[in-house]
Amino acid sequence: MALTSSMNWGINLLISLTFLTVTDLIGLSWVCFIYTVMSLASLAFVIAFIPETKGCSLEQISMELAKQ
């Protein structure tokens, strides 16, 4: 969870630091388009590679991940 939280904060920092500069360079609509593509790619990754854990206990999840 620490890795995930760190990545989240890091990506948020990167977006905050570059948003205005990139918007001035290529325009707001292109920046929004790029962020949309990145979000859709992230969604595709989650759907394809992250297992469903709904209704499972932590022990069951640990056992399933240990098998892989």
Gap between the Cα atoms of 36 and 30, Å rounded: 10
Q: Which residues contact 35 (CB under 8 A, 6 or more apart)?
A: 15
Secondary structure letter of residue 32 according to DSSP: H
Give the start-to-end residue ranges of the domains of the chain: 1-67
Taking CA atoms, 63 is separated from 53, 56, 58, 60, in Å, by: 12, 11, 9, 5
Give tens-digit pLDDT for 18-53.
999 999 999 999 999 999 999 999 999 999 998 888
Gap between the Cα atoms of 19 and 28, Å rounded: 9
Q: Is the pTM of this model over 0.85?
A: no
CB 14 within 8 A of CB 27: no
